[in-house]
Amino acid sequence: MSILQTLLFSLFLLLNPVFWCVGADYETVIYKGQKLSILRDSLTQAPLIIRGIESNLLEIKNFSKLSRKEITHTGPLLVNKYKSLLQIEPDQLKLKGAEKISDTWYVSYWQTFRDVIIYESSLGFSIDSRGDIKSLGALLYPHVQAPVTSKVGHEEALKIGQSEIKDFKKLKCILLAESVLIYPVKKKSSIDYYRVYAFNFFPQEALHPASVVGGWAVFIDTQTGKKVLYEELLKPLGCCIPEDWAPPKPEEMKPKW
């Protein structure tokens, strides 16, 4: 491409903002005197990403002296500080994971509704060795309206879930994780919130750490008993097989939610 062509192309891009894909959806806001860059979910308007501009979102004093447990309390502090932006309460967070890699801590949470986890919701961030949080990533649901009790019994739902798996008995399928969840289904201009029994089934042979055999996620509506999600699952695979390996218990499994 000649210099002239490059210049003309650059001019064309400048005059056509529709081509500005990267970063085009970010907005700059002043929140309590702090300049922030925010990317919002187009449907819920909840922030997907918040970054501090020329400042950190949070600076934790004496960070190096904090225990792991104390570090996991950072999420509620952050939500409290940016509550009107995030539109959730600190007590709606449930810890998903906290891990130190090199000098950085990575902490993440689910959002809950009446103590029930919202499927695929998240709020997370990294904390550097100085205790600074520069940005956060989140998938939050500000105004959840979902049933708070179940009309369908657990055993009935489990049978319905099992019946969705072809060759369930032949494959010797096992229920490896289950929970009641809030399952948000995005529509064009609104979200349906289902309260579901979430089941993760795997064939017995998938239990071995070296097996790459996958499983299934089946979600059953607690109000109607109808299936609202059926999905094939890839197997999450760790690094090694411990010498004392034994089939995992359901509470030890890493479920898909």
Partner 1 sequence: MVSACKEKAEKPSLPKIGAAAIDFNCQDLEGQAWSLNKVRGKVVLLRFWADWCPYCRYEMPIIDKYYRQLKKEGFLVLAVNVKQSTEVALAFTAQLDVTFPVPLDPDGGLARRYGVYAIPTNFLIDRQGVVREILIGEVFREEKPLRDLLKNYFPLS
Binding residues vs partner 1 (CB under 8 A): 21-23, 25, 39, 41, 48-49, 97, 99, 101-102, 104, 106, 108, 120, 122-126, 134-139, 212-214, 231-232, 234-239, 254-257
* Shortest reach from residue 236's CB to partner 1, in Å: 4
What CA–CA distances, in Å, run from 27 to 53, 82, 87, 160, 256? Answer: 11, 16, 17, 46, 32
Cβ-proximal residues to 115 (8 Å cutoff; 6+ apart), any chain: none
HSE-up of 96 (CA within 13 Å, CB side)?
24
Complete DSSP assignment for 24-90: TTEEEEEETTEEEEEEE-TTT--EEEEEESSS-SEE-TTGGG--HHHHTTHHHHHHHHTHHHH-S-G
- State the DSSP H helix or E strand holding residue 6, giving kind and residue range, or none if neither: helix 3-15
